[in-house]
Amino acid sequence: MTNTTVEPDEATRLRNKVVDELCADGNLSSPEIEAVMRKVPRHAFIPDTPLDKAYDTYAAVITKTDEHGVQLSSVSAPQIQAMMLEQAQVKPGMRVLEIGSGGLNAAYLAELVGEHGEVVTVDIDPVVTDRAHRLLDEHGYGRVRVVTADAAEPVPDLGEVDVVMVTAGAWDISPAWTAQLRQGGRLVVPLRMRGLTRSVSFVQVAGEHGPYLESESGRICGFVPMQGSTAHREELLLVNGTPEIGLKFDDGLPADPHRLDNAVTTPRHELWTGVTVRIQELIDTLQMAMAISLPGFCTMAVDEDLDTGLVAPVNKRFSLAAVEDDTFAYLVTRRTEDGKHIEYGVHALGPNAEQFADKVADVLRDWEANRRGGPSPVIRVYPVDTPDDQIPADRVIDKVHSRVSLSWPSA
């Protein structure tokens, strides 16, 4: 399908190297997707980008920022693109809606659906869609329909599709996405839940009380956040009223945030849990265990310019944390003596620091005993008006257009 007839040998070598790495690390297993990623010239969809950066297996390329340097648009890393394409399970002849344009992923999708399929790609930013339209036309993918619109609304003249693939970070699930998805179709979306983002592959299920979405897989990822009517910002709570320590809440602040005003005036309680993990071990289920088990789950960031040492996180930009009434706690780590593992600890500040640290530590120990190495939670998405008794869940997250449930699968 591509009409690129002359291509630098170095680009071909680098592209094959990327695909070889993705096959080796398990992100790529489908022969069809492997062939597509070897064929489509990734660098041609990221003009003015050095080849070594265009073909960095694990790094995105930022294509647009605002005046403050905030990322507005990017071309995802090959690893993320391969992962989501695997989750989508696109077959020849399918109709696919892509939300969030760039051109490259639409070209992959066009190759996968073939001559008898259809790809529609939508973005709210006309600069992005103009660029995507031009690049797709230039490289032989003129059959892809490029639409400038807020994809939270139904796409005109679309009809039902087999796959909806969202390539921007979403906090909520727009009803338009499920309305345009055929029964049994897949929605692949980087969904943010309690501040944690997972690329989730959902299947639309016909439930007793109406259709809902149920996850097939969920993988850690990061994406430029969605713009438009479904955009959502975390709320920031400044501990002690200064910018030094910020707690970020994805689903609303605590009922009485001022109860934390004096938390940092108490001595910091430090507890080591005995829970250890290998240096490269994935901790996605540990993160989800905290998000599910702790009602006041949040993340913590420390302003390095204002840091006075009141808190001592390992990562000042992002630490898992939680709040309970007048006390907050966060996770820390340290290397074990063998140098091959890290141990988790809890720091807590507030009048009930010791008790709350024990509670957080119990969540980690329960994860180690019952969840470590096991499956991720099952994620289900219901219409916003679904009653509680129709939602099986260990944790329900209420959003504007949907109710998201998180449930650990049975042992």
Cβ burial of 312 (10 Å; 0-12, 13-18, 19+) is: middle
Question: Exposure of 227 by Cβ count < 10 A (0-12 exposed, 13-18 middle, 19+ buried)?
Answer: middle
Alpha carbons 71 and 197: distance in angstroms, whole number: 17
Q: Is the pLDDT of residue 96 over 60?
A: yes
Give the residue from 191, 398, 373, 377 showing the smallest Cα distance to 288.
Answer: 377
Count other C-beta atoms under 10 Å from residue 127's C-beta. Answer: 13
Q: What mean pLDDT is predicted for residues 234-252?
A: 89
Average pLDDT, integer, range 169-186: 93
- pLDDT in the model for residue 294: 96
Q: How confident is the model at residue 9 (pLDDT cuts 50, 70, 90)?
A: confident
Give 58-85 pLDDT, tens digit per residue: 988 876 555 544 445 678 899 999 999 9
Task: Tell me the backbone φ, ψ of residue 223, rounded to 5 degrees.
Answer: -145, 155
Residues 350 and 344 sit within 8 Å (Cβ to Cβ): no
Rounded Cα distance between 107 and 366, Å, is: 45
* 3-class SS of residue 292: helix
Average pLDDT rounded to a whole number, residues 219-227? 77
pLDDT of residue 47: 87
Q: What Å distances lie between residue 340 and 33, 193, 246, 343, CA to CA?
A: 35, 31, 31, 10
Average pLDDT, the chain: 91
Contact 378, 407 (CB under 8 A): yes
Q: How far apart are CA 170 and CA 193, in angstroms?
A: 9
pLDDT on residue 76:
86
User: Catalytic positions, please?
Assistant: 76
pTM of the model: 0.90
pLDDT of residue 63: 65
- State yes or no: pLDDT of 390 exceeds 70: yes
Beta partners for residue 300, in sequence order:
247, 319
pLDDT, position 232? 81
pLDDT value of residue 2: 43
